[in-house]
Amino acid sequence: MSTLSVNSNKLRRHRSILLLRNQKGFAMAVIMALLPILISAVLATFGVITFTQTDLRLKYICRRENIQTQERAAKLLKSLLTMNPEASYLQKRLKTAVAACGYTGAGCAELTRVRATIVLFKIRQQQLISQANIILQQGYHRTLTHISREGRDVVNSVPLFKGQFNLTPGSGPLLAIRPEAMAEPPTYSPVENFSDRQALEHRWQYRLTTSQPLNIFLDQSFHFDKGCSVTLKQDGDEWVTQIKKAKSLSKWL
């Protein structure tokens, strides 16, 4: 009995060793099968982190440039709207002079003086509007140049990916104001949907395609729509910049 017992114990130990070896072999096979997935995940994560950091820098540059442009335009907008009380006063003077002298006002010194004052006043108004429009247009194209240059740097700096960068065609805004009435001289006010009409907005797209050695494990392309938008909003008597949410989309292709 003791010999049979010893042999039985040896047999059980042998079976246990074989089972343990089989389990280790299976675990190693599973690890080897999952290793490409794990490597691709690590490499892809590294590339995405690098891309995110550089893209945030691009968005910062876009917002910074647009904020500076809108701040300059805001000063001119405030100056223009501040002229409204004087415009209303000149409207009343003109109405009074026309009532006293007739519309033609032949030989009426007061009507001549009022009309000359209005001409100069309207020139001042138009100068402010023109200056604001020039600032907005120049600012838009200056930011466009920065984004174009920095965007190419972004896609070239993402490791393990080949990138393409494209800017969405667009144009800068004009000062979003309108004359309130057909009066001489006009008073001005912000247009409806001022926030959207005044916005300096830039949009761009990335296309990232995996390259060696990542594409051995993951052959994939990614598309990202990005953008930034800065507008103005009224804060009491002041006009201040406001960052708008740019609608962006990231998706697999």
Instruction: Determine which of 28-37, 60-69, 185-194 has the lowest per-residue pLDDT on average.
Output: 28-37
Instruction: Determine which of 8-12, 130-134, 219-223 has the lowest per-residue pLDDT on average.
Output: 8-12
**pLDDT for the residue 253:** 32
Using pLDDT thresholds of 50, 70 and 90, give the confidence band for residue 247: low
Angle at CA 228, nearest 5°, toward 227 and 229?
130
Which range has highest mean pLDDT (15-19, 108-112, 131-135, 178-182)?
A: 131-135
Residue 30 scores a pLDDT above 70 = no
Using pLDDT thresholds of 50, 70 and 90, give the confidence band for residue 239: very high
Residue 236 scores a pLDDT above 60 = yes
CA 63 to chain centre: 7
Region 98-108: what's the mean pLDDT? 77
pLDDT tens by residue, 111-137? 889 999 999 999 999 999 999 999 999
**pLDDT for the residue 154:** 74
Q: What is the pTM of this model?
A: 0.75
Residue among 165, 150, 152, 179 at smallest CA distance from 58: 150
Q: Which residues contact 152 (CB under 8 A, 6 or more apart)?
A: 165
Taking a C-beta distance cutoff of 8 angstroms, is the pair 170, 203 a contact?
yes
